[in-house]
Amino acid sequence: MEAKPEAIPLLTPYKMAGSSFSLAHRVGYKDTPGVWTAEQVEAWRPVVDAVHAKGAVIFCQLWHVGRVSSYEFQPGGAAPVSSTETMVGPQVSHDGTVEEFSPPRRLTVEEIPAIVDDFRKAARNAVQAGFDGVEIHGGNGYLIEQFLKDSANNRDDDYGGSLENQCRFALEVVDAVAKEVGGHRVGIRLSPFMDYMDCHDSDPHALGLHLATKLNDHGILYLHMIEPRMALVDGRRVVPKRLLPYREAFKGTFIANGGYDREEGDKAIASEYANLVSFGRLFLANPDLPKRLELNAPLNKYNRMTFYISDPVVSYTDYPFLS
């Protein structure tokens, strides 16, 4: 009798609890697209329809860049808004160019509810466009994380000065979005250990654990969290796997991200360290990544120099499929 092929943990089916989403596998400034106008909603429909035609699920990631912006991208040339008036320092891009940002304006307490409502409206628009759900971007140095982390949040009002206050804005956004489209359509991405866009925290573990616990009050579908930086072990980059406390605290689907390959992803799923593993760079460079992982086929190498260029084809749709 022919032996059954060994199961690949990353490619085993997974159903998100409390939702209708059954996944066939576990591999899911300028030029930034929007979802705040009727025209944008209509423009997204053919994209969403094309994904659904392939039998796949698509979520829209919602984010507000906050101080990671400049006057030229703001209405009337106004200052970008943030939790703080402290500006982001110059950032060196992959191609060596230096990007500079304008000094931000600190949001008043009275202005914050309108920003929360912007997230709610964007979530409604995304679902109207046909997206299966939304992912609130609470990481990578953008507005929500500017409130979450004490390096960027120097407030002494209801939105700063304590861990609970620093998390207030993020949880208000989650609450508003979940009430608008249903918690079963909502996920959030967090990066407590990252230092990106001058956003870091003095106690990332306490921050991550507090959020993972509080998110349970809102009945959202998933928590998508980024690992700390990878370590070198015997000359090989290894995922540090320090997210277990947050996976145990959060009662929904837990998605781990950050430097995973096939081997590390299989280990994470087989050990129940995470429910799902997400891939960014590898999926960008390999549009048929699940098939390549199934066959253990060679992967296309990604080109960092073209990650964020304006060209609509180069780097986004030009990587080859398996022949």
* Enzyme catalytic residues: 142
Gap between the Cα atoms of 48 and 126, Å rounded: 10
Residue (of 193, 262, 249) closest to 223 by Cα position: 249
Encoding tokens for residue 288? 């048929």
* Gap between the terminal Cα atoms of the chain: 31
**CB-based contacts of 235, cutoff 8 Å, min separation 6:** none
Q: Phi and psi dihedrals of 214, rounded to 5?
A: -65, -30
> Is 299 within 8 Å of 308 (Cβ atoms)?
no
Alpha-carbon distance 242 to 259, whole Å? 13
Give dist(CA 187, CA 179) in Å, integer.
13
- Do 193 and 158 meet the contact criterion of CB atoms below 8 Å apart? no
